[in-house]
Amino acid sequence: MIDVEDLIALVRNYNPKTNADLIREAYAYGREMHEGQFRRSGEPYFTHPVAVAAILTEQSLDDATIITALLHDTIEDTRASYQEVARKFGEEIAELVDGVTKLTNLQLSSTETKQAENFRKLFMAMSKDLRVILVKLADRLHNMRTIKSMRPEKQLQKARETMDIYAPLAGRMGMQWMREELEDLSFRVINPEARNSIIRRFITLQRETGDVIHKITNDIRAELEREDIDADVFGRAKKPYSIWRKMEEKQQSFSRLSDIYGFRVITRSEMDCYRVLGVIHQRWRAVPTRFKDYISQPKSNGYRSIHTTVSGRDGKRVEVQIRTRQMHEVAESGVAAHWSYRDGVRAQNPFAVDPAKWLASLTERFENAEDHSEFLEHVKLEMYSDKVFTFTPKGEVVSLPKGATPLDYAYSIHTRIGDSCVGAKVDGIRVPLWTRLKNGQSVEILTAEGQRPQGTWLDIVVTGRAKAAIRKSLREEDRERFVKLGRELARVAFEHVGKKASEKALATAAKQMSLGSAEELLARLGSAELAASDVVRTVYPELVRESSAIDSKRAVLGLSEGESYNRAQCCQPVPGERIVGITYRGKGVVIHAIDCPSLEELETETNRWIDLQWHSGPHAPEYTVSLDITISNDTGVLGRICTLIGEQKANISDLRFEDRKPDFYRLIVDVDLRDVEHLHAVMLALEAESDVARVRRYRNLDRRP
C-alpha cells in the first residue's frame, strides 16, 4: 500500500501548494473507518481507496478529488456519515463522496428498463459535479486491475459491464488511455483465448521483422530534423482488444491487418502540426479516406489532433497522430483536464472543455427520448460514435456519428424534413437513403408533401434522434391497434373485480389520471405505458384488495416484531413456495425462493440467512410474477391470452414485447397472483391454448438484490 507521504509526494509533483495536512487527515480517517475490512484478495480494504487516489494523481487532479478517492467508500461501507465527512473535510468533499456512493449503488448491468433509468441517474450525478465520474472510473480501473480475486462469474459480469458502460464513457470523456486499458482488462476476462492469440502473433511478428516501432520512430525523427521541426515522436503497438475489434469489423485475419502500429508527433505549435503532416505525406504515401483533421473540427469533448494513415516501412500501414503539447494533455485527460494542476495552480489549457458545457451538449440529445429503451439507445449510440462531418448546400457543418445515412442527416436538421424525406443527393449525385456518409460530403435532402416514415427506416438510421422520431410517427399510426388492445386489457381487469369497463368508468379513470380522454388511456394501456390494475384501482380502490385475505405486510412468519420484508425480483416468490430470508445492508430482509440461483453466492454467509415461511390462509392477489410467453402472430391471439388470464381471476399489471417475428411474438406478462396454486392454474390454462407455443416463469438474475 502506498504510504501517505508517498501519496502527498505524487500530488506535490504537479501541485506544490497542496493541502498536505488535509490529505494526511483524510488518509488517517479512511484507514480508521476501513479498519478490519479486507478485499477478496486478503489485502486490507484501505489499499483500494489509496490505489484509486494514486491513479487520479496521474491526471494531476485537485486536492478535493484526491481526498474524495481516499474516502469514496466510507459513507457506504463504514460507520462514517455524510454529516461527519462534511464537518471534517467540508461540504464540497462530502458532496463528492456522497455522489460516488450513489453511483456505486446503481446496478448498471440490470434489466434494460432499469439500466436506462440508471443512465439517467448517472447523467444527473455527472451534471452536479463531473469529478464524481472521474473517481468512479478510477475506482473501476483499479477493480479491473485486481479482478482475478473475484469468482469467475462475477469477473464476467463486471467485465461486460465495464466494456458496455465504463470504457465507452471514459472514451466519450476524452480519456482514451483509460478507455483502452478498461477495454483490454475486460477483453482478458471475456475472451482470454482471443487475447492470448493476438499477443502470440505479435511476438511472432516481432521475431520476424525486428523492432518495427523503433525503426519507424527513427525514420520520422530523421525527416523532421531534416526540415528543422522541433517535435517529440512516440510509437507503440495497439492494444490487443483494439486489434481484435479491427479484425472483427474488417473480417480480416491478423496477417492481413495492416495498421497495428500507432505513432504520435507532439509539436510546439499548431502551425508545426500542418508542417509535420506535409513532411509525412511527402515521405510516405497517404492512404485515401484515412485522414481526419480534428484541429479544424474538434470533437465535442475538446479533442484536437490530426490523424493520417500512411504506407510506411516495408509497405506496412501506420497511423500517425499529430498535435501540440496542450492538445496532447487534453487528449490524455479529456474533460478531466479542466481540474488538472501545474506548479500549484489550475492549468490554463485553452483546449480544455468546460465540463458544464460538454455535459449540456451531451444530454441535450437525450431530452426527446419518450421511453426508457429510446433513452438507453441514445446513450449507447452517443458513447460509441465516431464523428463524420458533412456539409449543407450552404456550407454549414453537420456532425453525425460514423455510419450515418442521409436520413440521419435529414432528422438532424429538423424532424419535419426527416419525416417528409423521399431522396437525397450527395455531392450533387442522387443516392439511396441507406448510403453511408463520409467526411467532407455535401448533402441535399429531397422532400415531398404527404410522405410518412416507413418501418424499414429504423434499419437504415443510426442516430438516436432519427430512431426516436421514426418510432413516434409509427406509434401514431399504430394508435388504433393500441386502443383496441387496451380496451381488451381494461375489460379483463375490470371483470376481475366484478365491474364493467364502461365508457364512463374509463373517462373517470382518465380524468383522475390527468389524461386527455378515455381513448388516450386505452392507447397507453395497449402500449404498456399504463398498468390495467392502476386504472381499476383509480376507479374502485376498495375492490382491488380482497378484504378477507391476509395482508401482505403480515404474510411472512419468522420475522422480528416490526421487521418488514421485500420480495426478491430475481425469483419473485409467491405464497405456497418454500422461502428463505436474506439480510441486505440498507434493504432489510429480502425473501427468495429456496431454489433461487442467486442464493449460491451466499452459501458461505449463513449469518445472513433467516428461516421464514408463508402465513397459511388466503392471500390477496398482489404478488406479481413475470411469465415468458411465446404466441403465434395471428389476429385476436393476444386478446384471447388476456381473456384466459382474466378468467383465472388474475390481473395483468404489465405487458411488454421482447421479440417480434413474422410468425410469432414473445412477450413478458406481469400477472398479480394469490399463491403458487394460482400461478399453476394460470400457466395450465395458457399451456392448453393452441396458439401458445411456450409459457414459462420468467427469471431474471440481473434483478437480484
Three-state helix/strand/coil letters over 57-120: HCCCCCHHHHHHHHHCCHHHHCCCCHHHHHHHHCHHHHHHHHHHHHHHCCCCCCCHHHHHHHHH
What is the structure's pLDDT at 131?
Answer: 84
- Residue 9 domain-assigned (yes or no): yes
C-alpha span between 58 and 53 (Å, rounded): 9
- Residue 504 domain-assigned (yes or no): no
What is the structure's pLDDT at 71?
Answer: 94
Contact residues for 442 (Cβ-Cβ < 8 A; gap 6+)? 390, 391, 392, 393, 426, 427, 428
- Asked if residue 431 and residue 462 are part of one domain, the reply reads yes
> What percent of the chain lies above the pLDDT cut of 70?
84
Q: Give the DSSP letter of residue 695.
A: E
- Pick the most confident of 390-399, 441-450, 559-568: 441-450
- Asked if residue 204 and residue 222 are part of one domain, the reply reads yes
Segment 358-369 mean pLDDT: 53
Segment 169-175 mean pLDDT: 77
- Asked if residue 367 and residue 342 are part of one domain, the reply reads no
Whichever domain contains 245, its CATH number is 3.30.460.10
Given 575, 599, 614, which residue is the final one in a domain?
614
| Residue located via cell numbers 516495408 | 314
- Residue 659 domain-assigned (yes or no): no
- Asked if residue 96 and residue 169 are part of one domain, the reply reads yes
Q: What is the pLDDT of residues 478-497, one digit of tens each?
A: 787 788 888 888 888 888 77
- Asked if residue 264 and residue 363 are part of one domain, the reply reads no
pLDDT interval class at 498 (50, 70, 90): confident
For residue 108, is pLDDT > 70? no
pLDDT interval class at 45 (50, 70, 90): very high
Given 141, 164, 189, which residue is the final one in a domain?
189
- Asked if residue 384 and residue 304 are part of one domain, the reply reads no
- Residue 25 domain-assigned (yes or no): yes
> What is the total count of domains within the chain?
4
What is the structure's pLDDT at 615?
Answer: 84
C-alpha span between 609 and 287 (Å, rounded): 64
- Asked if residue 211 and residue 137 are part of one domain, the reply reads no
- Asked if residue 157 and residue 211 are part of one domain, the reply reads no
Of 425, 427, 409, 420, the closest CA to residue 451 belongs to 420
- Asked if residue 341 and residue 224 are part of one domain, the reply reads yes
Given 477, 502, 527, which residue is the final one in a domain?
477
Pairwise pLDDT comparison (305 vs 100), residue with the higher score = 305
Q: What is the pLDDT of residues 295-350, one digit of tens each?
A: 888 876 678 899 998 886 666 678 899 999 888 887 777 666 655 655 555 555 55
Q: What is the pLDDT of residues 223-261, one digit of tens each?
A: 999 999 999 999 887 788 887 877 766 555 555 555 677
Whichever domain contains 462, its CATH number is 3.10.20.30
Of 624, 460, 609, the closest CA to residue 552 belongs to 624
Whichever domain contains 179, its CATH number is 1.10.3210.10
C-alpha span between 450 and 165 (Å, rounded): 41
- Residue 424 domain-assigned (yes or no): yes
- Residue 532 domain-assigned (yes or no): no
- Asked if residue 108 and residue 34 are part of one domain, the reply reads yes
Do residues 324 and 268 touch, judged by C-beta distance below 8 A?
Answer: yes
- Asked if residue 47 and residue 113 are part of one domain, the reply reads yes
- Asked if residue 208 and residue 271 are part of one domain, the reply reads yes
What is the structure's pLDDT at 285?
Answer: 86
C-alpha span between 233 and 378 (Å, rounded): 38
Q: What is the pLDDT of residues 121-148, one digit of tens each?
A: 566 555 567 788 889 999 999 999 999 9
- Residue 654 domain-assigned (yes or no): no
pLDDT interval class at 90 (50, 70, 90): very high
What is the structure's pLDDT at 25?
Answer: 95
> What percent of the chain lies above the pLDDT cut of 90?
26
Residue ranges making up the domain that contains 129? 4-189
> Mean pLDDT of all residues in the chain?
82
For residue 559, is pLDDT > 90? no
- Residue 703 domain-assigned (yes or no): no
What is the structure's pLDDT at 384?
Answer: 45
| Residue located via cell numbers 476501513 | 34
Entry pTM: 0.53
Name the grid cell of 127: 451534471
Pairwise pLDDT comparison (60 vs 389), residue with the higher score = 60
Active site amino acids: 76-77
CA distances 178 to 68, 103, 324, 336, Å, are 19, 19, 21, 12
What is the structure's pLDDT at 112?
Answer: 45
The C-alpha angle 666, 669, 672, rounded to 5 degrees, equals 165
